Amino acid sequence: MAQLNESPIRIGLLGAGTVGSQTARLLVEQKDELEARIGRPIELVGVACLNPDEVDFPWIDKSLLTSDTMKVATNADIVIELIGGTTVARTFVLAALNAGASVVTANKALLAKYGPEIYKAAEANGVDIYFEAAVGGAIPIVRPLRESLVGDRITSMLGIVNGTTNYILDEMTTKGLDFDVALKDAQAKGYAEADPTGDIEGYDAANKAAIMATLAFHTNVSIDDVTVEGITKITADDIAAATAEHKVVKLLAVVENGEAGVSARVYPALIDENHPLASVHGSFNAVFVKAEAADDLMFYGRGAGGAPTASAVVGDVVTEARHIASGCTGPSIPMYKNLPHAPINASKAAFAVRFLIHDKPGVLAAIAREFADHGVSINGVNQDLKPTLNDPGYDGEIQQLRIVTHLTDEETLHKTVSAVCKLDFVTGEPSILRVLD
């Protein structure tokens, strides 16, 4: 009978920030219970950070703190990477894998850019790479894509995968705030970074969309393949118009595997107030998965925050520690397809376009003519919106004219809008939002 290995599984932690410190807390405070679940003890053997003297958490032993990140990365059984970024993180993750350690990470930017390289390195070294916290915070979505649904064919996914933008849009909707005011409120409450560009411009959601598409469709989809539109152009007028039509604005990540190929996109969209995604408030996230056999699935929960994200990280640590205790590895990430990427005009949608116009006879007819000439069918018109600013040199009021189209492709829609904007009675910048069916 083989003798049981009761030596501790050594864990190295790279990063002691918001998520890293909470991860360390869970590992230390729940050590005995985690050992019971794993079947072997675990031991935090090193915590790497830029300024060890500035780290002061009662649950982190000072003797574990070091600025020698490479030493921690290459002297553990499981390395947890929570330093963020791509260049430096890639170096340490690959070093850990090549040193025979399995890696747990929450780094969506790293995986969206270098995922296939990292997955291959893990497989080549006979170790694992886990990253549940990289998409959706505490929501278990990555493992279902890797394991639970691997026997099915996923056709599409869409959802709210960035808590910062969802909080801002929710505040604009429920409190009537302007974008800038809602952003400052999010920053004051810790929901947005001092530099919120990655969130509000949609890049954070785009990284997650790339990961989701890669896992779901078993083909390489990188951040460079994702088309991105953020929420910085969403105004209080857009929110008011949506509310008048019993809709809400949400920033969505949408990935699809259709006849024209794979697509991954991030954009703000109008959804009906009765749609399940409309009830996703604050910093919560939700992801819809459509599969051929399983049909529709929805995953919902906290999408950000130190403790929720740390929960997902430690869950991955326990999973990998169990593999080590059992002398095995987990399933690899099969990327056996080389699917084409769908052109931008392959997908059709309904659009809501809001123009600022000089209120005089013939305006609506002229705009409708441009839509007809470009082959875009109009589904509805709403001119009963509040007046906005005055236009210098024009004595009358500026009115808002909102047009909702039938299905059309994005390229045709933008050509149509560009033509309308050249009309002498159209002023300002139009607002364009997709309408989720």
Active site residue 120: no
From 4-8, 88-92, 98-102, 371-375, the region with the lowest mean pLDDT: 4-8
399, pLDDT greater than 90: no
105, pLDDT greater than 50: yes
Query: What tokens appear for 351 in the block?
Result: 């659009």
Q: For the whole model, what pTM was predicted?
A: 0.92
386-398 average pLDDT score: 60
341-355 average pLDDT score: 91
63, pLDDT greater than 60: yes
How would residue 358 be classed by pLDDT, with cut points 50, 70 and 90?
A: confident
Q: Which CATH number fits domain 9-137+306-326: 3.40.50.720, 3.40.190.10, 1.20.1740.10, 3.50.30.10?
A: 3.40.50.720
- C-alpha to C-alpha distance for 175 and 190, rounded to whole angstroms: 19
Q: Strand 42-48 and strand 9-14: pairing?
A: parallel
pLDDT in tens, 135-166: 998 899 999 999 999 999 999 999 999 999 99
How would residue 305 be classed by pLDDT, with cut points 50, 70 and 90?
A: confident
350-372 average pLDDT score: 92
Say if residues 143 and 315 touch (Cβ distance below 8 Å): no
How would residue 395 be classed by pLDDT, with cut points 50, 70 and 90?
A: low
192, pLDDT greater than 80: yes
Query: 66 labelled as ligand-binding?
Result: no
253-258 average pLDDT score: 95
Query: 71 labelled as ligand-binding?
Result: no
Query: 101 labelled as ligand-binding?
Result: no
Q: Under 8 Å CB-to-CB from 96, ≥6 apart: which residues?
A: 12, 73, 74, 76, 79, 81, 103
Say if residues 43 and 9 touch (Cβ distance below 8 Å): yes
Position 396 scores a pLDDT of 66
- Please pick, among 208, 290, 337, 415, the residue that the annotation labels catalytic: 208
Domain 347-435, classified CATH 3.50.7.10, yes or no: no
What 8-state DSSP symbol labels residue 245? T
326, pLDDT greater than 60: yes
Query: 18 labelled as ligand-binding?
Result: yes
From 77-81, 119-123, 128-132, 331-335, the region with the lowest mean pLDDT: 331-335
Residues 61, 64, 67, 70, Cα dihedral to 10° = -150
From 89-103, 193-207, 319-333, 375-389, the region with the lowest mean pLDDT: 375-389
Query: 216 labelled as ligand-binding?
Result: no
Helix (H) or strand (E) holding 240: helix 236-244
Say if residues 301 and 137 touch (Cβ distance below 8 Å): yes
Query: What tokens appear for 63 in the block?
Result: 């003797």
Cα atoms in the Cβ-side hemisphere of radius 13 Å centred on 298: 11
How would residue 388 be classed by pLDDT, with cut points 50, 70 and 90?
A: low
Position 1 scores a pLDDT of 39
How would residue 209 be classed by pLDDT, with cut points 50, 70 and 90?
A: very high
Domain boundaries, the chain: 9-137+306-326, 142-302, 347-435
Average pLDDT, the chain: 93
Find where tokens 């059992």 sit: 326
303, pLDDT greater than 60: yes
How would residue 361 be classed by pLDDT, with cut points 50, 70 and 90?
A: confident
Position 94 scores a pLDDT of 98
Position 2 scores a pLDDT of 44
Domain 142-302, classified CATH 3.30.360.10, yes or no: yes
Query: 19 labelled as ligand-binding?
Result: yes
91-112 average pLDDT score: 98
How would residue 408 be classed by pLDDT, with cut points 50, 70 and 90?
A: very high
Q: Under 8 Å CB-to-CB from 255, ≥6 apart: which residues?
A: 156, 157, 158, 209, 212, 213, 216, 217, 221, 262, 263, 264, 265
Highest mean pLDDT among 36-45, 345-354, 355-364: 36-45
C-alpha distance from residue 83 to each of 73, 163, 361, 383 (Å): 12, 20, 60, 50
From 2-16, 156-170, 286-300, the region with the lowest mean pLDDT: 2-16
